[in-house]
């Protein structure tokens, strides 16, 4: 049995930093993760005045702002936290493995800066366009309708080579069988994918499916230190990959286990 075998297809209830520090070096082929964006925290955050007394949005339309303990940091705390977990990921992921990190304008520039500080090669930025994104109720800015994914290779700019990109598979997934662009028009997560419970930032299977099919190979091992509702693991299982996922929230771990139990391996375009 190889060192990696003991990590295959594991769902772990733990603090990610504590757990990552106990993992052997160079175990995982890739990392795909959706970390906290720090939407709930950050310095000098102000509560929207009119929202406090707006019963239409708070009551009738049941609009809830993201306000989670796991997503609440000061600016310095958030930067230090991201630097630490990304540094650990570079240690546990194999050389030239792919590291793919979700973000929004709240955090993506900090993530990119940290990747630059660590000297990693950035290959692409991907844009997920949410055509049915929730409207901006403040009417003071453009409607935020996108999220981003930074794709980096776990090696320096000078030495990075032979990273995984399944170009032909991605081509087959486009309607006209041409090059897949880096802007993906995919609706927000459907109700059907939330059958076993809800997570405030659950990503659609279609988005994770493209990342996994495009940037990993069959039977490879993917780590996600912020598993949330488990979409990385579910998509990995569907597409014949292995997963090792961590979350400190017991409710989300149970949700993930239910989703995985109901998931059938489908292997579309997996080779």
Q: b/e string for 196-231 if b means 16 or more Cβ within 10 A? A: beebebbbbbbbbbbbbbbbbbeebbbbbbbbbbbb
**What pLDDT does residue 50 have?**
47
Predicted TM-score (pTM) of the model is: 0.89
Whether the per-residue pLDDT at 54 is higher than 70: the answer is: no
Average predicted confidence (pLDDT) for the chain: 89
Give the angle subtended at the CA of 251 by the CAs of 250 and 254, to the nearest 5°: 85
- Residue 58 phi, psi (nearest 5): -75, -35
Q: Are 150 and 122 in contact (CB under 8 A)?
A: yes
Q: Is the dihedral of CA 151, 93, 267, 205 positive or negative?
A: negative
CATH number assigned to the domain with residue range 3-261, chosen from the 4 options 3.40.50.620, 2.60.320.10, 3.40.50.150, 3.30.450.70: 3.40.50.150
pLDDT tier at 196 (50, 70, 90 boundaries)?
confident
**What pLDDT does residue 271 have?**
41
| Sole residue written with tokens 């000297």 | 119
**What pLDDT does residue 21 have?**
97
| Extents of the domains making up the chain | 3-261
Q: Give the model confidence (pLDDT) of 174-193 as tens digits.
A: 999 999 999 999 999 999 99
- Among 267, 149, 166, 159, CA closest to 216: 166
Whether the per-residue pLDDT at 120 is higher than 90: the answer is: yes
Whether the per-residue pLDDT at 49 is higher than 70: the answer is: no
Q: Give the model confidence (pLDDT) of 198-230 as tens digits.
A: 888 899 999 999 999 999 999 999 999 999 999
The string of DSSP codes covering 219-257 is T-EEEES--TT-HHHHHHHHTT-EEEEEES-HHHHHHHH
């Amino acid at each position: 049995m190889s060192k990696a075998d003991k990590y295959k297809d594991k769902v772990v209830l733990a603090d990610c930093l504590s757990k990552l520090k106990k993992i052997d070096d160079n175990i995982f082929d890739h990392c795909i993760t959706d970390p906290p964006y720090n939407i709930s925290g950050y310095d000098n955050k102000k509560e929207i005045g009119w929202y406090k007394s707006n019963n239409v949005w708070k009551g009738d339309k049941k609009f809830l702002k993201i306000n989670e303990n796991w997503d609440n940091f000061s600016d310095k705390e958030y930067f230090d936290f991201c630097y630490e977990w990304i540094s650990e990921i570079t240690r546990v992921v194999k050389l030239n493995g792919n590291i793919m990190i979700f973000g929004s304008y709240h955090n993506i520039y900090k993530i990119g800066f940290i990747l630059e500080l660590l000297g990693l090669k950035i290959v692409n930025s991907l844009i997920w366009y949410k055509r049915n994104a929730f409207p901006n109720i403040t009417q003071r800015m453009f409607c935020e309708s996108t999220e981003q994914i930074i794709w980096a290779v776990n090696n320096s700019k000078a030495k990075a080579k032979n990273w995984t990109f399944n170009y032909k598979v991605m081509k087959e997934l486009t309607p006209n069988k041409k090059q897949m662009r880096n802007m993906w028009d995919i609706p927000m997560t459907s109700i059907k994918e939330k059958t076993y419970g809800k997570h405030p930032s659950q990503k659609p299977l279609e988005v994770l499916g493209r990342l996994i099919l495009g940037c990993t190979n069959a039977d490879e091992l993917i780590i996600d230190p912020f598993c949330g509702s488990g979409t990385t693991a579910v998509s990995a299982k569907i597409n014949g990959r292995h997963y090792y996922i961590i979350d400190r929230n017991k409710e989300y771990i149970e949700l993930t286990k239910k989703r995985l139990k109901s998931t059938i391996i489908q292997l579309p375009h997996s080779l």
